[in-house]
Amino acid sequence: MRTWLRAASPALSIVCLLAPAALPQDRDFLTSDEVESVRLAQEPNERLKLYTDFARLRIELIKQLIAKDKPGRSGMIHSALEDYTRIIEAIDTVTDDALRKNKELIEGPKLVAAAEKEMLAALREMEAANPKDLARYRFALTSALEVTQESLELAQEDLTKRKHDANVRAAEEKKEIEAMMTPSELKTRQAAEAKKAEEEKKTTRKAPTLRRKGEAPAARKP
């Protein structure tokens, strides 16, 4: 699939990331082009690849900002670190959702683990370098380090165990939400869930076959 990331050079992509840095805190952590790329990528492994690319771009942007002592850079570094952290969180969400829905998920976590090892090392180097304005974005950097470490551990975890843990968390969260609902709200929610489950069931039905019931498939010719 074609995406703007594959069409644009890394330098151009990083320049595009500078614009959202000055926007309010409720801004989207992705650019409009990135949002569109994610929307078009329905397969979870492909989405994980996209999010990993986006995270790498933020790391490169932060490196460039730290390398040049320019006025106002600390605010841009802080924003880039926050966006990076939310991208890593999105990676974990995509993975857990795919596991809960029994989607094939093998290459994605491997790709994520390899990339997060590199990005974690880069973040540690930034912290060790102790830039003079570090105090202004220390919390954001610490959060990025912690979230990356946790995500890396999850990416390296056995997928069967992670799927079980994800299902347990989802069930607990659902129970907590429903406990705060009125009977009417709960009924509406359950009806919506049943409708969604039926729609998903229709989309996953087997393709029609011309064989009669009980008839074995024809043997392949040598």
- pLDDT tens digits for range 52-72: 999 999 999 999 999 998 889
- The answer to pTM > 0.75 is no
In the three-class reduction of DSSP (H, G, I as helix; E, B as strand; rest coil), residue 174 is classed as helix
Alpha-carbon torsion, ordered 122, 127, 132, 133, to 10 deg: 90
CB contact at 8 A, 102 and 95: no
Pick the residue with more confidence: 25 or 160?
160
In the chain, DSSP finds a helix count (H) and a strand count (E) of: 9, 0
Confidence tier at 213 by pLDDT (50, 70, 90):
low
| pLDDT confidence tier of residue 212, bands split at 50, 70 and 90 | low
82 vs 105, residue with greater confidence:
82
Q: What is the reported pLDDT for 145?
A: 98
Measure the CA–CA gap between 2 and 6, rounded to whole angstroms.
Answer: 7
Q: Comparing C-alpha atoms, which of 34, 141, 144 is closest to residue 86? A: 144
**pLDDT 10s digits, 119-165:** 999 999 999 999 999 999 999 999 999 999 999 999 999 888 877 87
Confidence band for 16, pLDDT divided at 50, 70 and 90: low
pLDDT of 60: 97
Task: State the Cα torsion 54-122-99-97 to the nearest 10°.
Answer: -50
pLDDT at 25 over 60: no
51 pLDDT band (50/70/90 cuts)?
A: very high
State percent of the chain over pLDDT 90: 52
pLDDT tens, position by position, 83-133: 999 999 999 999 999 999 899 888 999 999 999 999 999 999 999 999 999
What pLDDT, on the 0 to 100 scale, is given for residue 2?
A: 35
Model pLDDT, residue 128: 96
For residues 115 and 48, the answer to whether their CB atoms sit within 8 Å is: no
Cβ contacts of 74 within 8 Å, gap of 6 or more: 133, 136, 137
